[in-house]
Amino acid sequence: MRVFQFTEQPYPDAWIDHNGSLRVNLPNRKLDPVRAAELFHRYYDEWQLADELGLDIMLNEHHSTATCMSAACVIGLSVLSRITKRARLLVLGYPIANRPDPLRAAEELATIDVISRGRLEMGFVRGVPQEVAIANLNPVFQSDRFWEAHDFIMKALTSHDEPFNWESENYHYRQVNIWPRPYQQPHPPVWSTTGSTYTAKKLGTYGYVMATLGTGYDTRRLYNAYRQGYAEKRGGAAAPADRFAYLGLVAVGHTEEEARRRGELIATYPRTSSIVFAPFRNPPGYLSIEDNVRILKGEGKPRSYTKDGRVVEMATGSVQDLIDAGVMFCGTPDQVYNQIADFVEHCGGMGNLLMMGHAGPMSHEDTVENLTIFAQEVYPRLKEMRQPEAAAAAAQ
Amino acid sequence: MAAAAETRQIELSGVAVEVTERGKGRPLLLLHPGHPAGRIDPAARVVELLAQDTRVIAPTHPGFGMVPAPAKLTTIDDLAYLYLDLMEAMELRDCVVVGLSLGGWIAAEMAVKTTERLSHLVLVDAVGIKAGNRESRDIADIYAITDKQLAELVYADPQAMSRNVKALPEGDLVLMARAREATGRYAWTPYMHDPKLKGRLHRIQIPTLVLWGEADRVASPDYGRNYAAALPNAEFALVQGAGHFPHLEQPGALSRRIMDFVEGNAP
């Protein structure tokens, strides 16, 4: 198993006094640029530590929000390409359908792959609904645009002999010929995320690495849809565990008490990430008609379940609830290892843990401890852990 | 009392359109608004009143109602061509085109292309033009506010127009959700307008009436006056006791104003 250290690079000082919305419409006056600089440098220091500890690195982007200061993932990737030595650099992800210019995205990604000497892992995502208000590109066609931007970027990264033409309703280019071309051949590995079985199956046909977040003990349903798509395209071949990734909140300590204290700090992520003025969470066409009818009726749609089928609300659940739901792995190194091993068993194999090892107001000291204990006392065992047999996992 | 409305599907170059017809006489093409009003109920009072003197033809824009929008229909301009095709297919002549809000935008886009089959144009709280400067928001961002806040902008009397959404039948909720999505489909960006439209309005030489709910807080009466000023042959009038949707709040006054205009009676 590989483990990627992830933080949203938050600005937690603004999490008080937000008037019900941490995203889109929280005035940026609430950010002190001097404090933001301190935080950015600290987060990069912690990723350098992760690199030294043998962990890989994941970063993302969100817009107009105090939950994540990384508004352009290429900036973080650029810095990390230069200041880290060995870690894989996973962006999960790049919201390519929210950018008007996929050529620019292809150029950025290829350049980062070259500067990092082939360490880029390239995650493309549709992005959360509240990003739509900022991008202002039509959400009704976002899914189509996502796949077209994907097709375009992949062609741009893999075409080397002459400029090509691309003219569609969405994008217009006549001389596509990116310099530099990517370091990894034919292209950096591709990742994506989903919460739907339809998209999971589609990602399976591509064979991309698929990640889910907050799906807990409902993850297997999505993985199985992926396995189905993967097998159909490859004469029944089973999808190996390295095609699957899961974002887990991780809090580890020498004692259970210490781990729980860190767990409370990490739990600030699910408790704040959905604080956004409600209309921005539901741009037209992002959610299905069925989901919108549910919203009109005032009904929710549960996402996280415990092993025995109990629904857990990520935004309000206790640390114990989050542990029960497989959303957080928290405890002593033994406990955390056992929780992860149990979860991997549920998934029928999962080869990439996207570890949120820092969140919210967690201090530098706590973060260093959390990463160090994990890397030294949990990770070696995870690397040795046997994944369930792929073929058996696909059959179930 | 006019006969009951009849609804059928018409196929135009591979695009299915649901069309409601009611009444006899000169044709009146009635183009419905977007979210939150959506398609016009065939049994609506405004249809009944207009059908006393005209043949009301009320299509449902693909994506609204239950007929899906084909992939090729993505803009208001596409709908304008679709309804020019519809007028041709139905062989309409001397037609009154009445457009409500988003439907007014479609009507204006049709009329700048050709008024060959039109006698009169009526724009009611129409969106579609950029009136102010780049930093002024001419039209309220209906997707950035709650349903309750939206009702306060839309109606002169939000209290009277309020309803318990949760208690509505499932089918009505589906139509509401589809209207909200379809409005985004056609009008997300540029938001509720075509940057080119205002500069083309001089082409509409036929008699035009611009009606505006006096309490419209989605697009203000001043926006409507700006619209009327760009039209060479237009008069502007307010509808009392109405907000953005006079056809829902003042169907009587609205249909009277329209018929007086069409029949040449002084207000």
In order, the DSSP letters of A214-241 are: S-GGGHHHHHHHHHHHHHHHTTTPPPPG
- Burial bucket for residue B10 (CB in 10 Å: 0-12, 13-18, 19+): middle
Scan for tokens 């406990």, then name that residue: A335
Provide the sign of the torsion angle of the four alpha carbons A341, A344, A349, A353, taken in this order: negative
Continuous H helices in chain A = 33-53, 73-83, 102-115, 132-135, 142-158, 197-206, 219-233, 256-266, 268-273, 289-296, 319-324, 333-347, 364-373, 379-384, 390-395
Per-residue pLDDT tens over the stretch A35-87 = 999 999 999 999 999 999 999 999 999 999 999 999 999 999 999 999 999 99
Q: What is the pLDDT of residue B3?
A: 73
Average pLDDT (B72-88) is 98
B267 — pLDDT class (breaks 50, 70, 90):
low
Per-residue pLDDT tens over the stretch A291-308 = 999 999 988 877 788 999
Question: Does residue B2 carry a pLDDT above 60?
Answer: no
- Rounded to a whole number of angstroms, the distance from the CA of A286 to the nearest CA of chain B is 9
**For chain B, what is the mean pLDDT?**
96
Average pLDDT (A202-219) is 96
pTM over 0.90: yes
Q: Return the bridge partners of A130, or none.
A: none
Question: Does residue B1 carry a pLDDT above 70?
Answer: no
Q: What is the pLDDT of residue A175?
A: 98
Chain B residues closer than 8 Å to A284 by CB:
35, 143, 180-181, 183-185, 188
Q: Which residue of A has its CA nearest to B64?
A: A289
Average pLDDT (B110-114) is 98
Query: Do B183 and A284 lie within an 8 Å CB cutoff?
Result: yes
Of B145, B170, B184, the CB nearest to A139: B184
B266 — pLDDT class (breaks 50, 70, 90):
low
Q: Which residue of A has its CA nearest to B181?
A: A284
- Rounded to a whole number of angstroms, the distance from the CA of B257 to the nearest CA of chain A is 34
Are B193 and B104 a contacting pair, CB within 8 Å? no
Are B144 and A279 a contacting pair, CB within 8 Å? yes
Query: Do A136 and B189 lie within an 8 Å CB cutoff?
Result: yes
In order, the DSSP letters of A80-128 are: HHHH-SS--EEEEEE-GGG-S-HHHHHHHHHHHHHHTTS-EEEEE----
Complex ipTM more than 0.85, yes or no: yes
Average pLDDT (A131-149) is 96
Q: Which residue of B has its CA nearest to A292?
A: B177
Per-residue pLDDT tens over the stretch B153-173 = 999 999 999 989 999 999 999
Per-residue pLDDT tens over the stretch A162-206 = 999 999 999 999 999 999 999 999 999 999 999 999 999 999 999
Of B74, B146, B177, the CB nearest to A278: B146
Q: How many CB pairs under 8 A join A and B?
A: 60
Question: Does residue B71 carry a pLDDT above 80?
Answer: yes
- Rounded to a whole number of angstroms, the distance from the CA of B190 to the nearest CA of chain A is 9
